Structure 1
Amino acid sequence: MDKQEALQHFKEHYFIPMLEIQLDTLEAKFYRCQAQLISDFKKSFMDLCIHILSMQQQGHKEPIGYIHYSFLRTQILEQSYFYMVEAYSAEWYEDNSDCKLTYDASWAYAPMSIMIETLEQERKIYMGAISPADIERLLLESTPFFHQFVNSIMRLAMAEVVQIPEYQTIYKAGRLLIRTGEYRDISENLYVEDMEPLRSDEVREQLMPTGEKEPFIYENLKLLSLPHLHLMEKDLRYNDFSHSDLRGSQFHSCILMGSRWQQANVEGGSFQGCLLSDADFRYSNLKGADFSGASGQSYREHGHRMPGLCGLRFEHANLDETDFTNIHAFEHVYFEGASMRGTKIPQKFQHLWKLSDTQRQSIVWME
């Protein structure tokens, strides 16, 4: 076989099967060690904030507009799995005052070292048709599959880490974005904070659907008064509605994956038919809310597991009289400490979900 045929055969029979095994193993570790991984990330974030404040107190750093956790492909090839953590002013890459540390992500990328060693042996049976550079290229192409686990740990930790005193005391620009992705390449927001309060009426106007139904994503919608908001088929993925008043608001068939609602008041609201993968409702008031027909569908294709790794979070939420009938793909759901008096839930989830005895007795189990 020629080189292309050899590469295709190698990829199908050795690389992809090994990648799938390593990702399955990593996913098991992600769930098993989640609390410790979040704690380690929190320590990294705390160290960065201490470093930022020290530079600011010495007059060496302007108010922070961006914090970026970046993976570097060149270091990954050297089997160095540290993210570069950088803080910038509002000028972002135009800020020449270096403020950087590292975050050890070897817990997520260590399987790549195992793959390199094994694949190096497997390539030899192709009689020189496959080179070490070919293996490196395949591994670099798979980097996002490992980054998605780091991304998910950061997302799970974010609401907690931005409350630590070390973060609260640093000087911030008018808007601060915490992001992650490849170094100076594609990245995405993990958290957005505006120092000046947003105006609820302006945000309501921005959210109201237009004829083209343009997406409104990755935004800070915290601490707003938006009761009785009515939105249909709107793309609102990864928005943060935490601490907002959304009583009686209707979200019908909206894309809400990765959205945050921590300590939001959505009493009597509706999420009928919404896509809720990785949505975070911890400590929220969802009394009497309607989730009928909602989906927590995970995305699993060719190594992708995000959204879906974080699961649906309802810890310590008020779910009294909430309607979960006819829901789909609610496998990874967390209810620790949630109040569930009169909550309507299909019988099939009785043994699938981890619930306390009090919760089980309080729930209205539906056929």
Structure 2
Amino acid sequence: MNREEVFRHFKNEIYEPLKHRMLFALEASFQNRKHALAKTFCNSLEQIFEKVKLMQQEGDKHALGYISYSMLRTELANGRATYLVEAMDKRWFMDRHTCRDTYDAEWAFCYLDEWETELSKHAKKYGGRIGLDDIQRMKLHVAVYIHQYIIALARFSITEEWLDEIQFAHEIQLEDVFELRIGEYLDQSEVVYKRDVRIKNSTMIKDWLEEKKPYDYIHEVFRKIDGSQGNYERIRLQYADLSESSFINGVFTVGNLIGSCWNKACLIEADFSDCLIQEACFEKANLRGTSFRDAVAVPGIYQSERWERPGFQPVSFAGADLTGAKFQGAYLQNADFTGAILQGADFIGAAIEGACFKGAVLDGTRFSLGMHPVARDLTSFG
């Protein structure tokens, strides 16, 4: 075989199978340890906030506009899973008042080290035609997949309530628009949390949303606006924040709402039929008469035979008013309905395995035969 054929064989027979096995192992570890990992991640944020507090007290730091976590490839190449944490004002990387810390992501990248070791063992079978430099390039390429778990952890860890408490406790000055971003050093980064307290014009926002731009609304903040009666069919609102907003009779059918936040929103008789709502949060929302027919909120790895991204967290309706809501045909495995009002809600044909109905009001709620939660082992819902 020539070199090209050797690499093709190695990739198909060794590289790809070991990569997927490694990523599934990391997925299982992440899901089992995510609460403890979130506590450690929040501790790293508190550390940088403490440094910012001292700098702001001394007049050496303006209001924060950004905190970024950057993967360092040079560190990875040297066997260290160190992320650079930087706190910056609204000038972002042009901020000359350096405020830095580090975050140790060994919990995730240790799987990459083990994969590299395994890969190197198999490479020896190819008679020296796959060298250490080749393995190193493969490692840095696969690091991008591990990096996705740092993003997933940050999203899982940071809540508005937690940030408000930390900001108050540390007396941190934040810009009206503040972002927590994770990426590579001086390269592309992704928003994992955005806070925007500017007052918005509901009419302008509604008109803009009804344009249904392909990528413009992802990660955006649309809090406390009135978009009622709007037609938002097929809209993409991944990880957007629409908390405390009003979208009465809004049409969101076939929309991509993965990771979107609708806490305390008024969504009476809105239509979320056929929407993707993995990781979405509708806690304490008014969802009376709302339709989630055929909506998809499958948690975990979407296609169990192939890793494509970190597994989704379950959708949450905790504390929501879902009186008369329609869930026929929806996929709602492990969904959280803790304390929700579900009087007259319809779950006929819905997949609700593992869903939590603890403390929920179920008077007149319709379930498929054999699927009523009261008739099942309630320990699985705690």
TM-score using structure 2 length:
0.86
Whether the aligned pair in 1 keeps the contact of 2:335 and 2:352 (CA below 8 Å) is no
Kept after mapping to 2: 8 A contact 1:45/1:161: no
Q: Would the alpha carbon gap of residues 114 and 44 (structure 1) be closer, same or farther in structure 2, given more than 3 Å must change?
A: same
Find out whether 1:234 has 2:239 as its counterpart: no
Which residue does the alignment assign to 2:333? 331
Q: Deviations over 1:18-65 (max 9, x none)?
A: 221121111112221222122222222222222211111111111111
Report SS of the residue matched to 2:79.
coil
In 2, the alpha carbon distance for the partners of 1:317 and 1:83 equals 38
Task: Kindly report which structure 2 residues correspond to 1:301-312, keeping only aligned pairs within 5 A, or say none.
Answer: 303-306=307-310, 308-312=311-315
Cα distance in 2 between the residues matched to 1:331 and 1:145: 25
Deviation at 1:81, TM superposition (A): 1.4
Instruction: Classify 1:213/1:102 alpha carbon distance in 2 versus 1 (closer, same or farther; 3 Å).
Output: closer
Q: Taking structure 1 as reference, are residues 337 and 184 closer, same or farther at Cα in structure 2, changes over 3 Å only?
A: farther
1:215 deviates by 4.3
Residue 208 of structure 1 aligns with an amino acid whose one-letter code is E
Determine which of 159, 175, 178 is the counterpart of 2:177. Answer: 175
Deviation at 1:265, TM superposition (A): 2.3
In structure 1, what is the equivalent of residue 33 of structure 2? 33
In structure 2, the residue matched to 1:264 is 265
Judged with a 3 Å threshold, the aligned counterparts in structure 2 of structure 1 residues 65 and 37 are, in CA distance, closer, same or farther, namely same
Task: Give, in whole Å, the separation in 2 of the partners of 1:262 and 1:82.
Answer: 34
Tell me the residue number matched to 1:162.
Answer: 163
Aligned partners of 2:70 and 2:185 also within 8 Å: yes
Partner letter of residue 86 of structure 1?
A: E
Amino acid across the alignment from 1:303: W
Q: Provide the residue aligned with 2:98 in structure 1.
A: 98
Helix, strand or coil for the counterpart of 1:253? Answer: coil
CA distance in 1, matches of 2:334, 2:22: 21
> Aligned letter for 2:7?
L
CA distance in 2, matches of 1:213, 1:349: 30
Deviation at 1:221, TM superposition (A): 0.7
CA pair 244-350 structure 1, distance change in 2 beyond 3 A: closer
* 1:187-336 map, 5 Å: 187-209=189-211, 215-296=216-297, 299-300=302-303, 303-306=307-310, 308-328=311-331, 330-336=332-338
Superposition TM-score, scaled by structure 1 size: 0.90
Partner Cα distance (1:312, 1:147) in 2: 23
- Are 1:264 and 1:284, in contact at CA under 8 Å, matched by a contact in 2? yes
Contiguous gaps of at least 5 residues in structure 1? none
Residue identity in the other structure for 2:111: P
Q: Say which SS state the counterpart of residue 194 (structure 2) adopts.
A: strand
CA RMSD of aligned residues (A): 2.5
8 Å Cα contact 1:275/1:295 also seen in 2? yes
Gap runs ≥5 in structure 2: 370-382
2:374 is matched with none
Counterpart of 2:52 in structure 1 is 52
Give the secondary-structure state (helix, strand or coil) at the position aligned to 1:163. Answer: helix
Q: C-alpha distance in 1, partners of 2:206/2:336?
A: 30
| Deviation beyond 4 Å, 4+ runs, structure 1 | 212-215, 297-302, 357-362
Residue 112 (structure 1) shift: 0.8
Shift of 1:167: 6.1
Provide Cα deviations, 1:58-81, integer angstroms capped at 9, x if missing partner. Answer: 111111111112212221222211
- What corresponds to 1:143 in structure 2? 143
Aligned residues: 364
- Determine if contact 2:328/2:349 at 8 Å carries over to the other structure: no
Contact 1:66 1:176 in 2 (8 A): yes
Cα distance per residue 1:188-208 (max 9 Å; x no partner): 112222243222222122212
The one-letter amino acid of 2:173's match is: Y
Which position in structure 1 is the counterpart of 2:124? 124
Distance, in Å, in 2 between the alignment partners of 1:245 and 1:7 is 55
Deviation at 1:219, TM superposition (A): 0.8
Contact 2:338 2:357 in 1 (8 A): yes
